[in-house]
């Protein structure tokens, strides 16, 4: 019988794409450092199977991990992400597959929460997974000892970012990157579906987690992240109410405030 694979990360990894600080202004520069050919070479070098699947050889993967990235109009980030992440995930002793959940239909606002829900449903229907990684596409770990694996309760992994001096933004912050088992995802009932536009879905997700499974937030220097610098996306403006419908129970009545503009 094969031994269980172990993680073999050695330390901090260069983010070659630090230069991506200039990405927004120098698109062509980015394509020089990370050309499609580089990505092709990556799949040979690291034996990544079609679909972005990696299975370690000679040992039994410690976990089967689905990495899920919500995306719309972030192809540049995707390329950087793949280029950066495949080599890192290789060292984790896991079987993994990277899924990109893309929201098409450009007329509507971006909906990160619903995208995750739709993607997770598909992914769970297609295979057996020990762990779901729910990550922004622009978050790059700075150390390969970061753990893209699950524990019994959800872990908030990606919250220490260069952008915010590696400080937790606020206690109830749940954006960035979560690792959780499919069981936990189902138990917390996933994300809310109705947050169109920027923000709010992560806070609601956090509330659900707190009230059901609880969570763990590793405070390690291994989980420092660089967020690729980006502008605020079009069609992702912050919505006024941050909910299409706000229902509030007041002492003498239930207040229903609906912002139907975004109620798609």
Binding site for Mn ion (CB under 5 A): 138
Site string for ligand UD2, 141-170 (x = CB under 6 A): --------------------x---------
**Interface residues for ligand UD2 in 50-79 (CB under 6 A)?**
69-74
Decide: is 129 part of the binding site for ligand UD2 (CB under 6 A): no
Site string for ligand UD2, 215-234 (x = CB under 6 A): ------------x-----x-
Question: Rounded distance, CA 177 to CA 260, Å?
Answer: 30
* Chain residue whose CB lies nearest ligand UD2: 175
Decide: is 86 part of the binding site for ligand UD2 (CB under 6 A): no
Quick one: what does residue 166 bind among ligand UD2, Mn ion, none, with the CB cut-off 5 to 8 Å set by partner type?
none
Site string for ligand UD2, 93-112 (x = CB under 6 A): -----------------x-x
User: Where are any strands of DSSP class E within the chain?
Assistant: 53-54, 64-71, 95-102, 131-135, 139-141, 155-158, 160-161, 177-180, 224-227, 245-249, 254-258
Task: Note whether 196 and 110 are within 8 A (CB).
Answer: yes
**Residues in Cβ contact with 28 at an 8 Å cutoff, skipping those fewer than 6 apart:** none
Question: Rounded distance, CA 69 to CA 15, Å?
Answer: 19
Decide: is 236 part of the binding site for ligand UD2 (CB under 6 A): yes
Task: Note whether 155 and 217 are within 8 A (CB).
Answer: yes
# of chain residues touching ligand UD2 (CB under 6 A) = 22
Quick one: what does residue 72 bind among ligand UD2, Mn ion, none, with the CB cut-off 5 to 8 Å set by partner type?
ligand UD2
Beta pairing, strands 160-161 & 224-227: parallel
Tokens coding 115: 């995208």
Can you give the binding site for ligand UD2, defined by CB under 6 A? 69-74, 110, 112, 136-139, 161, 175-176, 198-199, 201-202, 227, 233, 236
């Amino acid at each position: 019988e094969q031994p269980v694979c172990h993680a073999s990360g050695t330390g901090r990894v260069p983010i070659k794409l630090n230069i991506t600080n200039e990405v927004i202004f120098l698109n062509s520069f980015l394509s020089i450092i990370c050309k499609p050919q580089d990505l092709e070479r990556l799949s040979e070098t690291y034996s990544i199977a079609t679909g972005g699947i990696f299975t370690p050889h000679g040992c039994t993967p410690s976990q089967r991990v689905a990495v899920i990235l919500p995306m719309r109009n972030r192809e540049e980030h995707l390329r950087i992400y793949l280029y950066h992440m495949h080599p890192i995930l290789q060292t984790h002793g896991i079987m993994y597959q990277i899924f990109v959940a893309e929201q098409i239909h450009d007329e509507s606002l971006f909906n990160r929460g619903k995208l995750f829900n739709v993607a997770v449903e598909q992914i769970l229907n297609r295979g057996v997974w020990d762990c779901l990684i729910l990550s922004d596409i622009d978050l790059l770990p700075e150390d390969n000892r970061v753990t893209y694996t699950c524990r019994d309760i959800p872990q908030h992994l990606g919250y220490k970012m260069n952008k915010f001096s590696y400080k937790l933004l606020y206690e109830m912050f749940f954006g960035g990157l979560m690792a959780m088992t499919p069981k936990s995802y189902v138990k917390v009932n996933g994300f809310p579906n109705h947050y169109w536009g920027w923000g709010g879905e992560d806070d609601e997700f956090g509330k659900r987690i707190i009230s059901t499974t609880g969570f763990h937030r590793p405070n390690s220097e291994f989980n420092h992240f660089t967020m690729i610098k980006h502008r605020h996306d079009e069609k992702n403006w912050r919505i006024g109410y941050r909910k299409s419908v706000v229902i509030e129970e007041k002492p003498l009545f239930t207040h229903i405030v609906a912002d139907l503009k975004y109620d798609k």
